[in-house]
Amino acid sequence: MKTTSASALKSLIPWISSGILLLLVLVACSSSDNNPVNNGPTPNPYLSSSLYAITHFDSSQSDSTPYGPPSGVFTIDAATRPICYGGPVNIITLASTDPNYMWQVGTDRVSYVRKGSGQWTRVAKYEALADATGNALPAIPDDNFRAFGESTAVGMNTASMDTYLKRLFGANYDKRFGSGSYVLVDKDNVLYTNYGDTLYGFALSDPDNPSAGITARYKMENMVATIQGADPAPPPGTRLFGLSMTYDGHLIVTFSNGVAVIDRDLNVASKSFYRFANTEYVSNSIAVDEKNGIYVASGGSSIASVGVMRKLVWTGTALSDSEVDGAWSSPYDSSEAELPPIIKFGNGTGATPTLMGFGNDADKLVVITDGAKQMKLVAFWRDKIPEGFIQKPGTASRRIAGQIQVTCGFATLPEWIQSEQSVVVSGYGAFVVNNIPQTVDTAIRSANRILAVSLMGPAYPTSYGAERFQWDSSTHEWVSAWARSDVSSTSMIPVHSRSGNLAVINGYRPSYGWEVLGLDWSTGNTVHQTIFGNKNSGNGAYAILQYLDNNDLLFNSFAGPIRIHHGN
């Protein structure tokens, strides 16, 4: 499918009435076989909100929001829009219990931001990374983030960009990656995340006066050793990779080698820890259902090991892997001895598991993309495997309800089709992107994550490819709804917009520079385009796209979250 040009799209949009758009949405919704669109995950009463209280939006990790962009083409100068600096990676801005505010979390700091009445103003911040490292990774001035956002990577290479990043963010800027990536806010407006090996629970110093500052209400240093102990000692390099909440109000802490449940006051005496085999490595977060099923996928920690998808169950007192409690595990395909050349971590899935099917929906599933070099979309039975279900050919176990090859519409499949992003889910629809360019220069292969993600697109070849699938609950099969081999999603987590019936992505294409595209969920046609151009502020490095309740884009850029209103 060819991309509609910006000029052509502009000329078409005035002819599309709002009534026709509404009709298209209704038709799309009614064609989702037997999957009612109002079915969704049960809100967790211990989170600050049913939306945006956790990194992937909700406990099911759907990446689906009720808000979204208008139709049309918009060219944006990000320098003219309000921004709250931070980073260099800004994963998400999270819901406060006060609807006039949001929590901003980056790899360096935590901020509290006023968003009411169209504002976007930081009222308090906590330099968390500097605190966690004893100032070994000191606070970065806002002007340095502004300078990076206003500059461009066009014409640069790994050597020149490395020098530039060191000047702005310090000689060891690569150590800034990985903190503040998985976050949640609880019903008491306490924000939990990690910086280095310290687990924090941040709160307002004075809830009635947010500008009074942010305090670390709870703090657990040396969290790996504190939670896991030394008998046996955790493998070298063990780190936190995910946070979530049980439906009875306990914090779930996911490490690269296991899962722990602990009270929200971080009382170590309350911990329950489930350790994985040393051949496994988790590099994503988890999904949680309303019965406290915890869905976690590990890849291999060595080239010989395979991926494992499992469901653990929190019983209220302990983590269980017993079938009696509803737990299970299943292997899935990995890239084994070959590691992806860029963006993606490890040989297993790059996806946080996502739940699919709720309420009276016929099939209850959990979905990931697997780790195969040319990845597949894989659905696992979430609960009991249906009686009489026969294992499908080519699948790693009977637990797998179905899987399908991802092609992204390429006539000839490239060596790698792989994603570091979770599967976007709405109803029985699923959307995935490819993050691996067809050619990867040797220099960028060996670059650290921050360096690589700052260059891929404007300085080195970009990645192309996206595909939307539909699960058929009558045949228990995936069907490809549409594919695009001409759109780019470099490293930002895509989302689903329910208001616009869109899949929304951020990427780089030479004709436009950095952009946000809205692709019709039913047809794949380009309906929305926000063009940032070549400035680094259009790079949503490893972050997630987000929209506010007035449909403003909250663009979690490399330099900090930017609030963008598409109207006058």
Instruction: Give the model confidence (pLDDT) of 133-163 as tens digits.
Output: 999 999 999 999 999 999 999 999 999 999 9
Alpha-carbon span 141 to 198, nearest angstrom: 23
Alpha-carbon span 37 to 44, nearest angstrom: 19
pLDDT of residue 51: 97
Instruction: Give the model confidence (pLDDT) of 245-273 as tens digits.
Output: 999 999 999 999 999 999 999 999 999 99
pLDDT of residue 4: 38
Task: Locate 386 and state its tokens.
Answer: 């249906």
Alpha-carbon span 199 to 207, nearest angstrom: 22
Specify the 3-state DSSP secondary structure of 18: helix
CA 414 centroid distance within chain:
24
Domains and CATH numbers, the chain: 6-564 (2.130.10.10)
DSSP notation for 359-388: TT-S--EEEEE--SSB-EEEEEESSSPPTT
What is the maximal distance between C-alpha atoms in the chain?
68
DSSP lists the bridge partners of residue 322 as: none
Instruction: Give the model confidence (pLDDT) of 99-139 as tens digits.
Output: 999 999 999 999 999 999 999 999 999 999 999 999 999 99
pTM: 0.93
Burial of 504 (0-12, 13-18, 19+ CB in 10 A): buried
Query: For residue 351, what are the contacts with CB-CB under 8 A and spacing of at least 6?
Result: 284, 297, 367, 368, 369, 419, 421, 422, 423
Task: Locate 205 and state its tokens.
Answer: 């110093």
Alpha-carbon span 228 to 235, nearest angstrom: 11
Confidence of residue 6 (pLDDT cuts 50, 70, 90): very low
Look at residue 25 and tell me whether its pLDDT is greater than 80. Answer: no
Confidence of residue 568 (pLDDT cuts 50, 70, 90): low
pLDDT of residue 389: 96
Alpha-carbon span 74 to 274, nearest angstrom: 49
Instruction: Give the model confidence (pLDDT) of 378-399 as tens digits.
Output: 999 999 999 999 999 999 999 9
Q: What percent of the chain has pLDDT over 90?
A: 88
Alpha-carbon span 490 to 191, nearest angstrom: 28
Fill in the amino acid letter for 509. R
Look at residue 13 and tell me whether its pLDDT is greater than 70. Answer: no
Torsion sign, CA atoms 183, 531, 507, 494:
positive
Confidence of residue 303 (pLDDT cuts 50, 70, 90): low
pLDDT of residue 567: 82
Look at residue 502 and tell me whether its pLDDT is greater than 90. Answer: yes
Instruction: Give the model confidence (pLDDT) of 462-486 as tens digits.
Output: 999 999 999 999 999 999 999 999 9
End-to-end Cα separation, the chain, in angstroms: 32
Query: For residue 379, what are the contacts with CB-CB under 8 A and spacing of at least 6?
Result: 356, 365, 366, 367, 400, 401, 402, 403, 471, 478
pLDDT of residue 338: 87
pLDDT of residue 24: 35
Instruction: Give the model confidence (pLDDT) of 402-425 as tens digits.
Output: 999 999 999 999 999 999 999 999
Confidence of residue 304 (pLDDT cuts 50, 70, 90): low
Q: What is the residue-averaged pLDDT of the chain?
A: 92
Query: For residue 119, what are the contacts with CB-CB under 8 A and spacing of at least 6?
Result: 82
Look at residue 438 and tell me whether its pLDDT is greater than 90. Answer: yes
